[in-house]
């Protein structure tokens, strides 16, 4: 008698005596026999109970999700009853012995169907949800991705170094989670937003090549594609150029895709930040389809159309997007599209339809034949297409046109849904303006080295300074960022000063780090990639929670454990925290 998994048996096993353990996936009573599909992580096997065996009586009472051990003989299924959809579909096990290892209550949703039940219910009963084949597959793919990453870096002589969870904050632009210290009243540890400073210190410590599958925590307002805790592939290398980091990370991803999905990825195209924003309206372009934007100010240089003329006069831009086949839209459909553009943030949108009966436009009086012709030529539009125009401040016009590009890509089925379009974005600006405070903040983080030859801009025009910072993007998602780091202590201080920190603040927050740079820090650089997003895209899912075993809801709760939950007064006292009055 050998123990086999529920996905293992084939016709060649016929005649073998086997033991299977698993869950009741489905039970059917048929022509005096009872059939059970027994399930484990590996698959399903049909086991058959015959009234002649004592086990039959117990089998009559089996319910979904009961846990069984069965022993019996493998036999080929009678002709015509094979199931080609199942790997084990040629055989069944004739049960001679049944042990009911445990009973299950009636599950709050069906584990044995493919469609997703209500998400809150799934998260509350996550152990049942995770039993579903799709979730078992997703977590297995995730495991393989991480394994392939570890193997890849091991082969290239990187070592994995664990960094602590209780640290002093590392700024990545989000809010820290704080942990109050029992031993030091009024003091707090921060949970890492990333191991950034520790991996840099590993370089200063001479390890040369570091990687870690690292847990990171950021207390930010949750969006659909964020989780408060997440996992990243964190990498750092000494004595490297930007090209070497890019080559390493790109090879890693190519390797992962080959090993896990058996997909050969082409070389990742590289684009400069300023170019990519001009072409796609975003620094996270979805390159599964081509459609590019175009700035068409020159075409409307002499226009009397006040919307366009005033945008140009104010230093803004007119951005055009082709809508393949859009020329056939009715006026009402165009009106709806204008409303959609407004929801995406547009002040307005002008459409030009290159229809069968000539040019029509929402700004008919101002769109002359020569405009339509020049637009069509610039955008390579044909009769039957439409052209959408956005006039605003340059960045705003590009951004909204970029969002509309995604919408058009979706509507027109332009995206190759099963494609993986990776790319690199380089040459980011060093600073960006924080939407909330209006102050300049690093686009990446303050440990990033400015672009070669641009240090001197820090005195004259810091907003023009670019960074040795790069992002990897896949299908419109940013997978991660990295940079070449500052390794000279005086330069690191200079960046902190530029960001408005006093000598005392630098010392309090980053004294330990600048001191470490003082002791012979090597030139170094690295990157981090979000494993949750990578797994999500590799699995063809559109929600991070589908590839995380125990995720938080969109409002930051763990519904299964019911966390966060109040602490006892005793715990709070020990942590020197005053209980909040209950409301």
- The least CB distance from residue 425 to ligand ASP, in Å, is 14
Nearer to ligand ASP, 351 or 470 (CB): 470
- The least CB distance from residue 431 to ligand ASP, in Å, is 16
Pick from 484, 421, 416, 402: nearest CA to 269: 421
- The least CB distance from residue 436 to ligand ASP, in Å, is 19
- The least CB distance from residue 240 to ligand ASP, in Å, is 12
Nearer to ligand ASP, 212 or 294 (CB): 212
Question: Could you give the CA distance from residue 322 to residue 301 in angstroms, rounded to a whole number?
Answer: 20
Nearer to ligand ASP, 163 or 483 (CB): 483
Helix (H) or strand (E) segment spanning residue 433? strand 431-433
Question: Could you give the CA distance from residue 310 to residue 305 in angstroms, rounded to a whole number?
Answer: 8
Question: Could you give the CA distance from residue 489 to residue 479 in angstroms, rounded to a whole number?
Answer: 30
Pick from 555, 561, 525, 546: nearest CA to 199: 525
Contact in structure between 506 and 514 (CB atoms under 8 Å) = yes
Question: Could you give the CA distance from residue 475 to residue 409 in angstroms, rounded to a whole number?
Answer: 12
- The least CB distance from residue 244 to ligand ASP, in Å, is 14
- The least CB distance from residue 174 to ligand ASP, in Å, is 10
- The least CB distance from residue 529 to ligand ASP, in Å, is 9
Name, in order, each residue with C-beta under 8 angstroms of 200's C-beta and a sequence gap of 6 or more: 236, 447, 485, 513, 516, 521, 524
Nearer to ligand ASP, 131 or 445 (CB): 445
Question: Could you give the CA distance from residue 258 to residue 254 in angstroms, rounded to a whole number?
Answer: 6
CA angle at residue 262 from 256 to 268, to 5 degrees?
55
Indicate the burial class of 491 (C-beta count within 10 angstroms; 0-12, 13-18, 19 or more): middle
The residue ranges that bind ligand ASP (CB under 6 A) are 172, 194, 196, 481-483, 526-528
- The least CB distance from residue 201 to ligand ASP, in Å, is 13
Nearer to ligand ASP, 174 or 307 (CB): 174
Nearer to ligand ASP, 177 or 351 (CB): 177
Question: Could you give the CA distance from residue 203 to residue 543 in angstroms, rounded to a whole number?
Answer: 35
- Give me the helix-helix angle, 394-411 and 331-343, nearest 10°: 130
Nearer to ligand ASP, 18 or 217 (CB): 217
Nearer to ligand ASP, 37 or 449 (CB): 449
């Amino acid at each position: 008698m050998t123990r086999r998994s529920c996905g293992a048996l084939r016709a060649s096993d016929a005649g073998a005596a086997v033991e299977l353990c698993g869950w009741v996936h489905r039970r059917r009573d048929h022509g005096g026999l009872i059939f059970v599909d027994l399930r484990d992580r590996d698959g399903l096997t049909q086991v058959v109970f015959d009234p002649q065996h004592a086990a039959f009586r117990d089998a009559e009472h089996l319910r979904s999700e009961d846990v069984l051990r069965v022993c019996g003989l493998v036999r080929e299924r009678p002709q015509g009853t094979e199931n080609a959809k199942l790997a084990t579909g040629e055989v069944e096990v004739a049960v001679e012995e049944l042990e009911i290892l445990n009973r299950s209550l009636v599950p709050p949703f069906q584990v044995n169907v493919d469609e997703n039940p209500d998400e809150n219910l799934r998260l509350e009963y996550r152990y049942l949800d995770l039993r579903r084949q799709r979730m078992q597959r997703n977590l297995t793919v995730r495991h393989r991705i991480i394994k392939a990453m570890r193997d890849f870096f091991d082969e290239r002589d990187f070592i994995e170094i664990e960094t602590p969870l209780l640290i002093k904050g590392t700024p990545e632009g989000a809010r820290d989670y704080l942990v109050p210290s029992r031993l030091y009243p009024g003091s707090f540890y921060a949970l890492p937003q990333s191991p950034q400073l520790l991996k840099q210190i590993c370089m200063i410590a001479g390890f040369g090549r570091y990687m870690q599958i690292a847990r990171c925590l950021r207390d930010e307002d949750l969006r659909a594609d964020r989780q408060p805790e997440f996992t990243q592939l964190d990498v750092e290398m000494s004595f490297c150029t930007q090209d070497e980091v890019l080559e390493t990370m790109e090879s890693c991803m190519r390797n992962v895709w080959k090993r896990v999905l058996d997909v050969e990825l082409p070389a990742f195209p590289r684009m400069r930040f300023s170019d990519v924003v001009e072409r796609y309206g975003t620094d996270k372009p979805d390159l599964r389809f081509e459609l590019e934007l175009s700035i068409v100010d020159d075409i409307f240089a002499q226009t009397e159309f006040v919307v366009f003329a005033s945008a140009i006069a104010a230093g803004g831009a007119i951005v055009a997007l082709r809508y393949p086949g859009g020329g056939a839209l009715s006026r009402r459909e165009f009106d709806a599209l204008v409303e959609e553009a407004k929801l995406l943030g547009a002040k307005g949108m002008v459409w030009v339809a290159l229809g069968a009966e000539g040019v029509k436009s929402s700004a008919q009086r101002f769109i002359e034949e020569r405009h339509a012709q020049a637009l069509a030529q610039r955008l390579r539009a044909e009769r039957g297409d439409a052209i959408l125009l956005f006039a605003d401040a340059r960045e705003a016009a590009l951004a909204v046109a970029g969002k509309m590009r995604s919408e058009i890509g979706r509507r027109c089925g332009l995206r190759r849904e099963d494609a993986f379009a990776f790319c690199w974005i380089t040459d980011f600006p060093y600073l960006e303006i924080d939407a909330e405070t209006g102050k300049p903040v690093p686009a990446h983080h303050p440990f990033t080295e400015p672009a070669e030859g641009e240090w001197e801009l820090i005195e004259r025009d810091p907003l023009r300074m670019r960074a040795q910072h790069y992002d990897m993007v896949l299908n419109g998602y940013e997978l991660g960022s990295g940079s070449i780091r500052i390794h000279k202590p005086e330069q690191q201080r200079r960046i902190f000063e530029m960001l408005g920190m006093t000598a005392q603040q630098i010392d309090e927050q980053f004294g330990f780090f600048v001191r470490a740079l003082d002791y012979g820090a090597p030139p170094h650089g690295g990157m981090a990639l979000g494993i949750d997003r990578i797994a999500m895209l590799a699995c063809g899912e559109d929600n991070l929670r589908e590839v995380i075993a125990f995720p938080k809801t969109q409002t930051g709760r763990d519904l299964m454990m019911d966390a966060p939950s109040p602490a006892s007064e005793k715990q709070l006292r020990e942590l020197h925290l005053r209980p909040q009055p209950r409301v």
